[in-house]
Amino acid sequence: MTNFNSRVEFYRCPMGAVPFDTNIHFRIKLSRELHCSGAVLAVKDDRFGDTLVNGMYWAGEVDNGYEIWECDLRIDRVGLYWYHFILDTCYGRRFIMKGYGSEGFITDSDWEPRFQLTCYDKDFTTPSWLPGGIMYQIFPDRFCFSGEKKKGIYPDKKLQTEWDRIPDWRPNEFGMITNSDFFQGDLKGITMKLPYLHSLGVTCIYLNPIFEAYSNHRYDTGNYEKIDPILGTEEDFCELCAEAKKLGIHIINDGVFSHTGSDSIYFNRENRYDTLGAYNSKESPYYTWYKFIEWPNIYNSWWGFDTLPEVEELSNSFNEYINGEDGIIRRWIRKGNSGWRLDVADELPDEFIEYIREAIKTEDPEALLLGEVWEDASNKESYGSRRRFLYGKELDSVMNYPFRDAILGFLDCGDARDMLEIVLNVLENYPRPVIRSLMNLLGTHDTERVITLLCGERQHGRGREWQAATKLSPEQRAYGLSRMKLASGILYTLPGVPCIYYGDEVGVEGYKDPFNRATFPWGKEDKTLLDWYQRLGAMRHACGCLADGDLINYGSAGRTMAYIRQDDKEMLLCVFNGAHETITFRVPEEFIGGETYMNTQLEGEWLTIPMNECAFVRANVPEKKPEPVAEENTAEEENAEETETAVEPVAAEIDPDPEIADILATD
């Protein structure tokens, strides 16, 4: 018997994260056998430790020996909160804590997990152009070479002349991996391929770093003000942004602000530049940017790599350089970009991210600020404190690695219900403006290629020599291509925005860096997989409910994942068969005769779905939403709604050290 479920509107309305100062109505349903004489909703402020206490009121009996208790809650400040219910029963003090599926369960201990409540700024908005779109991540050196020879390239950079070869992976004579080989992919090459990206339905390109740097990944920034000469010129970047916008495509840049390169105009350890770097002199204008333990050779560096000296982000000089009126953030927005992705956002101070947001939104309120966070960003802790990423003053959204875990977990024989639970937890914890802009992904420059993960031999810690030599067999590849279709079908229909890591859509394979950063195989693409992605893109743009619709679990279990995306106009049923056999699936009545996509086989009320395939059926919204199969829909809940009594809501009391027992005793 359900006593509370934070994902069911009957028990909590509204559900999910809410703007602060929103009135939230809570209900719990208890067996009369408990002889409950008092109930309290206890809400702990995560940041300040205060507890908000609301007495609950008896609201009537329902059939089969149950009763309803309820209250209203209004929280007047942004933040993260944890809540549970406290009961006085004939068996003594009892608690309703959070169980699987956000279902409440009664226990005699309050050490169990509490329910999460995220309260965000009521004025929080995110860019309107991103929801419903498709992102595409490009590692610039490996996407497309225009063929134009460049000037001003450092002579110690190795320029590859064979586009199809494996990136250099062997250490140099000093045993170091330098990432100094370049395939000469450039900005003009990306501009040339804009029609191709448009054919995929792409609306946003996320570029890995493009600023001058020594390495091919360019996370060791040499000069934030200059495009790397191998990629082209500032004019090339402006042309790319302008031509992309003609096709409805926005460009966002990678902002690497937690560290620079040691080989940079700011640090200048290698003396490549004629500037006075922090390594060269304490009188350098950049000296305060860095934390020296013993100048000049001992300093804080990113994860111990001495080629990546960490910056002091809150140094007045650095902050002004990045976020000032003429700073780096605003400079490149003026050149045509539509926002920034923040590298290692969880290693940047909250205050610094707030400054970045202010700079971005001052220059262009519709520009995007996206953060790299690998965990649940709503309750992320780093460097000893809870992060404030999603309250409305910092990030617009994040790279959504939890969804990746859920998709790949399902394909790796995980139970669909457990994998969807990961998704539903994120949806419950994140503000709606964040959800509609989530960067959903299967692979990035930091992960193995998806097709390799899905069907290749597992790496199990084996080194680069094994990774370089190991390729998919024809049988593995054929199986992997079918699994790629299944994975991408889920990716394209979950809340948020799907992102393609360049080449995934044509079956590029590879293990870890640098093998996951191989060149795009122009002329050798897997046309069948490419056609699948193009059709997915067309479906996504045709179904408006995928932009900001709700997700309703429709009986996901075992090797079958099923859910409905729904807005106020239409709904899309999505079913995925991860089993090694064909399944049949009965659709809700509203979808009989609906519009089908992606070779979906619908006859009457039955879908036939072969192994590793998907089914998609669109229909108009009925007068009443289809009920989730997994949720309880009983007569007593309907009766409870009918017997609800009008009770004057009581405002929450703030007490840093509440005596809950006393409160219960006086109710």
Q: Which of 34-48, 410-424, 475-489, 644-658 has the lowest mean pLDDT?
A: 644-658
pTM to 2 decimal places: 0.93
Phi, psi of 91 (to 5 degrees): -100, 5
Helix (H) / strand (E) containing 453: helix 450-455
Residue 665's pLDDT band, with cuts at 50, 70 and 90, is very low
Is the Cβ–Cβ distance between 199 and 251 less than 8 Å? Answer: no
If we measure between CA atoms, which residue out of 86, 72, 73 comes closest to residue 36?
86
Q: What does the DSSP 8-state code read for residue 342? A: E
Average pLDDT score over residue span 337-358: 98
Residue 544 class from Cβ within 10 Å (0-12 exposed, 13-18 middle, 19+ buried)?
Answer: middle
Do the strands 550-553 and 560-566 form a parallel or antiparallel pair, or are they unpaired? antiparallel
Report the percentage of the chain scoring pLDDT > 70. 93
- How many other C-beta atoms are found inside a 10 Å radius of the C-beta of residue 437? 27
For this structure, is 446 an active site residue?
Answer: no
For this structure, is 655 an active site residue?
Answer: no
Q: What does the DSSP 8-state code read for residue 520? A: P
Q: Where are the beta strands (DSSP E) in 265-334?
A: 292-294, 298-299
Residue 1's pLDDT band, with cuts at 50, 70 and 90, is confident
418-434 burial code (b ≥16 CB/10 A, e <16)? ebbbbbbbbbbbbbbbb
Average pLDDT score over residue span 66-72: 97
Q: Which of 82-86, 153-157, 567-571 has the lowest mean pLDDT?
A: 153-157
Instruction: Round to whole Å and give the CA distance between 515 and 345.
Output: 25
Residue 155's pLDDT band, with cuts at 50, 70 and 90, is confident
Q: Which residues contact 623 (CB under 8 A, 6 or more apart)?
A: none
Q: For residue 99, how far is the Cα from the chain centroid?
A: 24
Q: With the CA atoms of 352, 325, 251 and 233 taken in that order, what torsion angle do they form, in degrees rounded to the nearest 10?
A: -120
Instruction: Round to whole Å and give the CA distance between 488 and 149.
Output: 37
Average pLDDT score over residue span 551-559: 96
Q: Where are the beta strands (DSSP E) in 379-487?
A: 381-382, 385-386, 397-400, 439-441
- Of the candidates 141, 220, 343, 394, the residue annotated as catalytic is 343
Supply 227's token pair. 């495009």
If we measure between CA atoms, which residue out of 532, 435, 528 comes closest to residue 489?
532
What separation in angstroms does the CA of 519 have from each of 447, 470, 510, 514, 532?
Answer: 16, 17, 11, 11, 21
Tell me: the pLDDT tens digits for 215-228?
A: 999 999 999 999 99
Q: Which residues contact 478 (CB under 8 A, 6 or more apart)?
A: none
- How many other C-beta atoms are found inside a 10 Å radius of the C-beta of residue 504? 25
Phi, psi of 370 (to 5 degrees): -115, 140
- Of the candidates 236, 313, 372, 613, the residue annotated as catalytic is 372
Q: For residue 14, how far is the Cα from the chain centroid?
A: 23
Supply 267's token pair. 């640090």
Q: Which residues contact 538 (CB under 8 A, 6 or more apart)?
A: 201
Tell me: the pLDDT tens digits for 366-414?
A: 999 999 999 999 999 998 899 999 999 999 999 999 999 999 999 999 9
Instruction: Round to whole Å and give the CA distance between 422 and 424.
Output: 6
Residue 362 pLDDT > 80:
yes
Sequential DSSP letters for 147-185: S---SS--TTSEE---TTSPPP-S--TTS-----EE---
